[in-house]
Chains A and B, each alone.
Chain A
Amino acid sequence: MRFSGFPEIKESIIAGYLPATFMLAPMAMALREQGIPIKIVYLGHRDGTALMVHKDSNILTVRDLKGKRVAIPNRFSNQNLLLRKALSDSGLTIDDVTVLEMPPPDMPAALYSKSVDAITSGEPFMAQTQMDGYGRVLYQAKDIWPGFISCVLVVSEKTINEHPEWVQQLVDGIAKSGLWLEKGMDNRMAAAEAVAKNYYNQNPRLLRFVLSKPPDRVTYSRLTLARADFDEIADRAVKAGILKRKLAFEEYADPRFSEHAIGSTAYTWQPPKAAPPE
């Protein structure tokens, strides 16, 4: 089910309407801290986040963000933590910028109209500004935080307890899809076409751009839950005041499904052949 904002996703899983969802990693941890019975079981991808500025702006380095307005998807987003890290690496703090929360689909228009100076979110909204000619990449997540994690697969404990086989099937499917995507650019282009039409309802050209320029803009390998990655997120979330305390990995993650998916092989799916031009 497609949503347009993370708050709606959060409410849907709290209400039990969604047995599973992709969600921002720090948001999932915060929900767990508040006692919501959910567990992180897998990653959706790695990298795939950028910070964009207007191509005409005088922001050429992270230091130039001082005093500027930066839009992030949500307070409980890894993009928030990434921005804090980028600022810290450049000798600034989050207090040196004005942070605004904004649904990612609204970000390109905000940058175009210059109502904000910079936007940061997951793709494809960042690439859209670049492809349409008014956005410039200030940084890619992979350059600031290698192996960056944004969205994770979250499943309700009720579903895990009652239907672990469903969860495993879902995790295996994501693992196989990721391996298939990483097999080559042809597969990425085929996926862009299929996903743009059937799931994202976006221009296939945009997704082709996201999945190819550069090819490692979004990666679909190393999706297994790694404790060290989540420890880093938790540490940064506590420092940012998003989490009250550092939760133990076992409190918010269930790595059984992820471990079972190790050794999966890529799908053998082939995209349907396009009809010859008339």
Chain B
Amino acid sequence: MSKMSKVMLGAVGVWLVMGYLHATLNLGFRPGKLLGLEKKGVTEEARFRVGFLPVT
């Protein structure tokens, strides 16, 4: 592999990593959810919230 190809490959790698970080940290992309490894948040959202202060 030529030196130029290695530089190109490295640049693409860096771009992919940066893109992934941007998607997960800034855009809320959750790969685990897409792969079905993460539980859906629907149950949490659908919960009936009741507020309380820890006093009687």
Interface, chain A (partner B; CB < 8 A): 1-6, 9, 12-13, 17-23, 44-45, 48-49, 73, 104-105, 121-125, 150-151, 166, 170, 199-202, 210, 218
Contact = CB atoms under 8 A, between A and B. Distances in A.
Contacts of A150: 55-56
Contact of A122 (B48, B51, B56): B56
Contacts of A210: 56
- Chain A residues touching B, majority SS: mixed
A44 B55 CA distance: 11
Interface of B: 48-56
Nearest to A45: B56
A162 to B, nearest CB: 12
A17 B48 CA distance: 10
Nearest to A195: B54
12 contacts: A3-B51, A18-B49, A19-B49, A21-B50, A23-B51, A73-B55, A150-B55, A151-B53, A151-B55, A199-B52, A210-B56, A218-B56
Contact of B51 (A20, A123, A124, A200): A20
Contact of A2 (B48, B52, B56): B52
A12 B51 contact: yes
A22 B48 contact: no
